[in-house]
């Protein structure tokens, strides 16, 4: 097994590489590196080794469909070639194209999303979404006077990354604990969050607690925006597949010996926000409603939409 593939999968599993966009790019890059490193000449062996490498990458984190879409994008068209050298060249090119387009998508979303930020807005964001932060930072760079509340996002506390990211940009930022969301929401104008997966019904799968932020925003009549590249849209959900909600180690929640062994710890790290709580999805192909997700998926994935 290619050691770059194994180490990339381990870093994704350990959240050394985290964030749905980053893990998608890491997965695609790992497929490209697999191709670069491959020394065999037998095509059947190549395809067997490629399938195994893709499986190792896809098993590293189950929820973010971006990883699945990134790895599949890097391998796209491999069934149409039958020589190892042609397949290697294709995978290397695909991987480079996916990474380039993915990074461009984040910049495009920042431009489009910043138009939904008005001067004087108070914004809330949850967890650490490079795409949502990109929108907020772009609005700040345009000179809009904004304030941001960032949630701590227990148990992994990605909010600490967010407040550091925003402070570097000079954005007026306040860290709050997750339990303060509904109290603070009365002072908030708009919420911008990222996405791990968006289903064909327009539901959002994102960091645990997102659905509570959305519910509090809905109650307070605060606009709730999702900032997501279209490679986070899930073709598998169109086939009725449920998005697997990852559960992680209890050591992320409690310290050793802190609670008796008889007490169980449940640590799901994503939840589902129903589409009716979502006012808009800001993508690189434009600001869309949750109801338009199928049409965008249709155009993006085409016939592959219903592959088994
Ligand atoms: P970007 C993260 O998951 C958060 O849920 C975040 O909203 C989402 O991925 C998207 O991140 P984790 O990797 O692609 O922290 O917007 O478990 O950076």
Q: Which band of pLDDT confidence, cut at 50, 70 and 90, is reported for residue 308?
A: very low
Rounded to the nearest angstrom, the distance between the alpha carbon of 224 and the centre of ligand 1 is 17
- CA–CA dist 230, 8 (Å, integer): 23
The beta-carbon contacts of 153-159 under 8 Å, at least 24 apart in sequence, are: 153/126, 153/127, 153/128, 153/178, 153/207, 153/209, 154/178, 154/209, 154/253, 155/252, 155/253, 155/267, 156/15, 156/252, 156/269, 158/18, 158/127, 158/128, 158/207, 159/126, 159/127, 159/128
For 135, 199, 203, 226, 277, the CA distances from 290, given in Å and listed in that order, are 19, 9, 7, 10, 10
- CA–CA dist 198, 94 (Å, integer): 23
User: Taking CB atoms and a 6 Å cutoff, what residues make up the pocket around ligand 1?
Assistant: 18-21, 127-131, 158, 193-196, 206-207, 269
The answer, yes or no, to whether residue 302 has pLDDT greater than 80, is: no
**Model confidence pLDDT, tens digit, residues 162-174:** 999 999 999 999 9
Rounded to the nearest angstrom, the distance between the alpha carbon of 254 and the centre of ligand 1 is 22
Q: Are 4 and 60 in contact (CB under 8 A)?
A: no
pLDDT at residue number 305: 56
Run of H or E residues at 167: helix 159-169
What does the block give as tokens for 153? 């996002």
- CA–CA dist 183, 41 (Å, integer): 63
227 catalytic, yes or no?
A: no
**Model confidence pLDDT, tens digit, residues 223-254:** 999 999 999 999 999 889 999 999 999 999 99
Q: What is the mean pLDDT of residues 179-197?
A: 98
63: buried, middle or exposed (CB in 10 Å: 19+, 13-18, 0-12)?
Answer: buried
- What lies within 8 Å, CB to CB, of 118 at 6+ separation is 144, 189
pLDDT at residue number 120: 98
127 catalytic, yes or no?
A: yes
The answer, yes or no, to whether residue 117 has pLDDT greater than 80, is: yes
Q: Parallel, antiparallel, or unpaired: how do β-strands 190-193 and 172-176 relate?
A: unpaired
**Model confidence pLDDT, tens digit, residues 31-79:** 999 999 999 999 999 999 999 999 999 999 999 899 999 999 999 999 9
Q: Are 34 and 77 in contact (CB under 8 A)?
A: no
Please state, for a pLDDT cut of 90, what percent of the chain lies above it: 95
- CA–CA dist 50, 247 (Å, integer): 28
Rounded to the nearest angstrom, the distance between the alpha carbon of 176 and the centre of ligand 1 is 18
Ligand 1 nearest atom to the CA of residue 20, by list position:
14
If one residue of 194, 228, 270 were mutated to test the ligand 1 pocket, choosing by the most ligand atoms within 8 A of its CB, it would be: 194
What is the average pLDDT score of the chain?
Answer: 96
The candidate with the shortest Cα–Cα distance to 84, out of 72, 92, 74, is: 92
Q: Are 54 and 31 in contact (CB under 8 A)?
A: yes
pLDDT at residue number 215: 98
What does the block give as tokens for 156? 């992994």
Q: What is the mean pLDDT of residues 149-176?
A: 98
């Amino acid at each position: 097994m290619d050691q770059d593939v194994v180490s990339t999968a381990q870093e994704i599993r350990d959240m050394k590489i985290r964030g749905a966009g980053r893990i998608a790019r890491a997965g695609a890059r790992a497929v490209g590196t697999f191709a670069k490193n491959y020394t065999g000449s037998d095509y059947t062996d190549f395809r067997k080794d490629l399938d195994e490498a893709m499986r190792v990458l896809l098993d590293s984190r189950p929820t973010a469909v971006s990883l699945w879409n990134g790895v599949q994008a890097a391998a796209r068209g491999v069934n149409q070639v039958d020589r190892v050298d042609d397949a290697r060249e294709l995978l290397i090119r695909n991987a480079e194209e996916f990474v380039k387009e993915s990074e461009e998508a984040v910049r495009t979303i920042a431009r489009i999303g910043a138009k939904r930020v008005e001067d004087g807005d108070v914004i809330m964001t949850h967890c650490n979404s490079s795409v949502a932060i990109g929108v907020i930072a772009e609005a700040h760079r345009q000179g809009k006077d904004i304030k941001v509340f960032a949630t701590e996002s227990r148990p992994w506390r990605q909010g600490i990354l967010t407040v550091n990211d925003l402070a570097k940009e000079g954005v007026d930022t306040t860290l709050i604990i997750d339990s303060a969301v509904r109290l603070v929401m009365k002072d908030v104008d708009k919420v911008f969050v990222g996405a791990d997966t968006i289903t064909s019904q327009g539901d959002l799968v994102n960091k645990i607690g997102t659905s509570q932020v959305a519910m509090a925003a809905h109650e307070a009549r605060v606009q709730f925006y999702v900032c997501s590249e279209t490679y986070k849209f899930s073709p598998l959900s169109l086939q009725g597949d449920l998005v697997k909600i990852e559960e992680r180690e209890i050591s992320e929640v409690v310290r050793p010996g802190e609670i008796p062994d008889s007490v169980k710890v449940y640590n799901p790290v994503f939840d589902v926000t129903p589409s009716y709580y979502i006012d808009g999805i800001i993508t690189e192909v434009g600001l869309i409603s949750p109801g338009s997700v199928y049409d965008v998926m249709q155009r993006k994935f085409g016939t592959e939409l219903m592959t088994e």
